[in-house]
């Protein structure tokens, strides 16, 4: 009987539910599926307070994760496949996911093991995925697939709904706002990826898995959002360094600079980004070759 291990971090339960739906066909086929929660030594709050949420920004963007608890891996030494399920924070891997990927214990365990990643996010996943890929390749894991499920509400609307969810735990739709996060239908539909993974395991052919997953819609790719994300990721790096210079994690000395960042963030989201998207579409014909190359890299390249 084949064994699957799922490492996951999930504050709201979304990433965990997605992983369970992906693994549902495997469990129904008799595979042993073992779930292991990634637990920060100091838990991140949910719901978030306003300042806790933004205090997490500099360290997340600079890939300075808070430590996580060690795992008992004695029961999964014979695992045939590893899943890593999590989310993006600030256009980067969430701090618990980054801590997982840089843990010496985990890096030793994942060497030469096949890994499929799952990202349940708002709508920007590309830069986080590149970092995850870089880490997996550096530890010599066999990166064989990645799955992204996202919120399909318009970008500026999903900003509001995700904040309602994270700050007030208000996920459900209202007369004005759609439900936050990945839709129930999309989460339920993730089981189709599990069937493809089952087939690849039974045929002992994980090398072609990502192509099959992509053909089934595992990675939503919208070049305009990737354009915005790449620009934002670069600028976030400058802001993160600027804030860190004023103080370490949770230092009150950096509150003023964080407040400046928050003003900047919402100004860019609601004033600058629409013009950035307009510029992208006006120059789209000049970008087509680059877009094709970038799409192939994000969807199909697992080697870095």
In the structure encoding, which two tokens stand for residue 217, read together?
């819609």
What pLDDT sits at residue 275? 87
Q: What is the mean pLDDT of the chain?
A: 96
Q: Encode pLDDT of 95-127 as tens digits.
A: 999 999 999 999 999 999 999 999 999 999 999
DSSP 175: S
Q: Encode pLDDT of 132-163 as tens digits.
A: 999 999 999 999 999 999 999 998 899 999 99
- CA distances to 81, 276, 289 from 34, rounded to whole Å, are 11, 44, 43
State pTM to two decimals: 0.96
- CA distances to 28, 113, 227 from 128, rounded to whole Å, are 31, 21, 14
- Show Cβ contacts of residue 247 under 8 Å, excluding neighbours closer than 6 positions: 253, 254
pLDDT band at 276 (very low <50, low <70, confident <90, very high): confident
């Amino acid at each position: 009987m084949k064994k699957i291990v799922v490492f996951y971090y999930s504050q709201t339960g979304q990433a965990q539910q997605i992983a369970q739906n992906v693994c549902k066909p495997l469990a129904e086929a008799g595979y042993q599926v073992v779930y292991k929660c990634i637990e920060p030594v100091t838990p991140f709050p949910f719901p978030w307070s306003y300042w806790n949420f933004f205090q997490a920004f500099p360290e997340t963007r600079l890939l300075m994760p808070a430590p996580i608890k060690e795992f008992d891996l004695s029961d999964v030494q014979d695992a045939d496949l590893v899943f890593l399920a999590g989310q993006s924070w600030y256009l980067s891997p969430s701090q618990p996911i980054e801590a997982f990927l840089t843990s010496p214990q985990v890096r030793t365990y994942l060497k030469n093991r096949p890994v499929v990643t799952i990202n349940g996010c708002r709508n920007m996943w590309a830069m986080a995925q590149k970092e995850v890929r870089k880490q997996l390749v550096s530890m010599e894991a066999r990166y064989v697939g990645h799955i992204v499920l996202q919120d399909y509400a318009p970008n500026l609307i999903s900003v509001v709904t995700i904040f309602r969810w994270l700050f007030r735990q208000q996920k459900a739709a209202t007369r004005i706002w759609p439900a936050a996060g990945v839709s129930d239908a999309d989460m339920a539909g993730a089981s189709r990826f599990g069937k493809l993974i089952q087939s690849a395991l039974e045929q002992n052919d994980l090398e072609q898995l990502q192509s099959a997953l992509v053909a089934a819609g595992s990675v939503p790719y919208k070049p305009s959002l990737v354009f915005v994300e790449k620009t934002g990721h670069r600028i976030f790096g400058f802001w993160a360094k600027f804030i860190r210079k004023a103080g370490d994690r949770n230092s009150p000395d950096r509150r003023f600079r964080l407040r400046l960042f928050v003003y900047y963030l919402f100004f860019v989201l609601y004033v600058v980004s629409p013009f950035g998207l307009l510029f992208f579409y006006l120059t789209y014909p000049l970008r087509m070759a680059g877009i094709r190359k970038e799409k192939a890299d994000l969807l199909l390249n697992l080697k870095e």
